[in-house]
Structure 1
Amino acid sequence: MIVTLTANPSLDRTVTLPAPLVPGEVQAATSAREDAGGKGINVARAVAAAGEQCIAVLPLAHDDPFAAALDSGALETERVPVHGHVRANLAITDPAGVTTKLNLPGASLSAGDIAAVINAVVARTASTRWLVLAGSLPPGVPDDLYVRVIHAVRRAHRDAPLIAVDAAGPVLASAVADGAPDLIKPNDDELTGLVGADIDDADASAILELARGIVPSRAGAALITLGSRGALLVEAGGAWTASPPPIDVVSTVGAGDSSLAGYILAHLAGADPAERLRQAIRYGAAAASLPGTQAPTPTDLPRGDVTVTRLA
């Protein structure tokens, strides 16, 4: 069993253009689609598509139209009743796979709503191997929500699940400072914000050196996704890097979420660190080759080889 929490879900609208986006101009789109999204939901859909049991916890009002999009995915969910409706995010993609995103803030959660969400996660993680806390937080929710969830789950269960955090900015910083997650999954921008150093031109060894300020002292491991540059896995006992196989990029939305799903699926199968990184790369590449925020299935994984290198 895997449980995910998406505190700020979104209705993801993806618009595909026949040419690059030109700000200030009127452009005709070639297609559009809607998906029930949010990082935790994206992870859950990919995990469920691989045949593993997964429950996605999220706040959702009874009359929210988002429920129809969520139901179409046949995903097992725990819906915590709240006031306010799920936000809509807009992604615009061009033929080269360049994606422009506009993310709305989402509905506010009251103190009672927050408590109910935490209680729902605790109840669902009684016999769980992984808990994934993923995505941004709604307006007014304190940055330490994931820390509060981590502490509540570990207090409630003697055999608490492994906990992964995929977040950005103050939310990620809070989780690393006070939550001691078992895994974090920052991308290059998120790691830059966390360590205060630009890694755009950094090689794997330089990124590893920065990550060693976090792993294992404040997080058990870090899966650092770098887009077309691949990914880096840092654990207490070693570090590995890999590049993605050749693909035709369609939309990068949700690729990092699928990478995390691939890592967890490999971990559940008992894979070693190199294979966990290889599976993360494959799932991220598969997601980037699909339109919208579709969750890749095992049949979508690219056939090209993924070479994993252990770093000194």
Structure 2
Amino acid sequence: MILTVTPNPSLDRTYELPGLVRGAVLRAAADRVDPGGKGVNVSRAVAAAGHRTVAVAPLGGPEGALLARLLGEHGIEAAGVEIAGSTRVNITLVEPDGTLTKVNATGPGITAAEAESLLEAVRARSAAADWIACCGSLPRGLPPQWYAELVARSHRAGARIALDTSGRALTAALREHPDVIKPNAQELAEAVGRPLATVGDAVEAAAELRERGAGSVLASLGADGQLLVEASGTYFGSTCVESVRSNVGAGDASLAGFLAAGGAGPAALAAAVAHGAAAVQLPGSVMPTPADIDLPAVVTTSDVPLDRALTEPAP
């Protein structure tokens, strides 16, 4: 079972448009609403792959009630913590060429009592979890150290932690040694304080984060592929995607594939790459099923293309 923690979940509304024109009245060719937030998306991908998952998240207002209902429809147990504020609603506009325009709401503030209730909800369910995936930005009211506290408590309970966050929250959590962290190229560059222009730069940055406390680093390099740096070695994987329909939740699908495949080694990296590639070819934040997965080849340390320039260098 994979337990996910999403401190700032959302309802994700996606509209597919024939074109985006500022100031115009636009009619959507298609629209959908999905339960959202990075950890929620991980749970959705895990459930789509046929595994058990529980989603811990603060839920408030009618939006929170709808989110809980949608999770149940996806076969996910919602361990909701009731909050006074209302769950946020995010908007994604998709153009025919795959261009996305996203409007992400800030979300409700979390009180100290609600924050402690979230930690207690994780503790109550952690014994049954193979992995705990803690994902996303922290909402108003939670300090940057909140993830660090969650990692520390979960480790004391014997759980393995995968962390997907950035900025001060990531820096603080590294001191508590999360088992896996999952930055993208920009977040990786931000964490080490320097630009990344090549795959080799990303490898060096990932190694630095391991020295600072991460057990292993699963780094998404966008269209260039994914990188895994862990105690057993360095691995790189990529695959060809013919067309991108939506990249919403693709990184979350990658993390789900990685954890469901064991959370370590080249086979888990191949699953991560395959899940991410499948997700970008689906509408909105739809998560891939096993029928969508095509496992790519993964190269080991000696063959990692260190000199390859990144398509989108991280600042």
Distance 1:145 1:13 in 2: 28
What is the SS of the residue equivalent to 1:212? helix
Letter in 2 for 1:212: A
- The 1:240–1:76 alpha-carbon spacing in structure 2 relative to 1, beyond 3 Å, is same
Shift of 1:247: 3.3
- Is 1:293 aligned with 2:285? yes
The corresponding residue for 2:161 is 163
Q: State which of 231, 240, 253 in structure 2 corresponds to 1:236.
A: 231
- The 1:25–1:190 alpha-carbon spacing in structure 2 relative to 1, beyond 3 Å, is farther
Gaps in structure 1 of 5+ consecutive residues = none
Distance 2:23 2:208 in 1: 43
The corresponding residue for 2:36 is 37
The corresponding residue for 2:262 is 267
The corresponding residue for 2:104 is 103
What is the SS of the residue equivalent to 2:262? helix
Task: Report if the CA contact (8 A) 1:4-1:40 is conserved.
Answer: yes
Task: Report if the CA contact (8 A) 2:225-2:239 is conserved.
Answer: yes
The corresponding residue for 2:80 is 79
My pick for the range that moved more, 227-236 or 255-264, is 227-236
What is the SS of the residue equivalent to 1:153? helix
The corresponding residue for 2:202 is 207
Identity of aligned residues (%): 41
- How many residues align? The count is 300
- The 1:243–1:151 alpha-carbon spacing in structure 2 relative to 1, beyond 3 Å, is same
Gaps in structure 2 of 5+ consecutive residues = 303-315
The corresponding residue for 2:310 is none
Distance 2:239 2:206 in 1: 21
What TM-score do you get using the length of structure 2 for normalisation? 0.90
- Is 1:49 aligned with 2:41? no
Task: Report if the CA contact (8 A) 2:68-2:78 is conserved.
Answer: no
Distance 1:189 1:25 in 2: 33
Task: Report if the CA contact (8 A) 2:188-2:202 is conserved.
Answer: no
Shift of 1:22: 4.4
Distance 1:67 1:78 in 2: 9
Q: Deviations over 1:172-226 (max 9, x none)?
A: 22212x2210000011121121111222xx2211210121111254101111012
Distance 1:186 1:25 in 2: 37
What TM-score do you get using the length of structure 1 for normalisation? 0.91
The corresponding residue for 2:252 is 257
- The 1:204–1:89 alpha-carbon spacing in structure 2 relative to 1, beyond 3 Å, is same
What is the SS of the residue equivalent to 1:173? helix
Task: Report if the CA contact (8 A) 1:215-1:236 is conserved.
Answer: no
Distance 1:121 1:94 in 2: 39
Distance 1:175 1:92 in 2: 33
Task: Report if the CA contact (8 A) 2:249-2:279 is conserved.
Answer: yes
Distance 1:310 1:205 in 2: 13
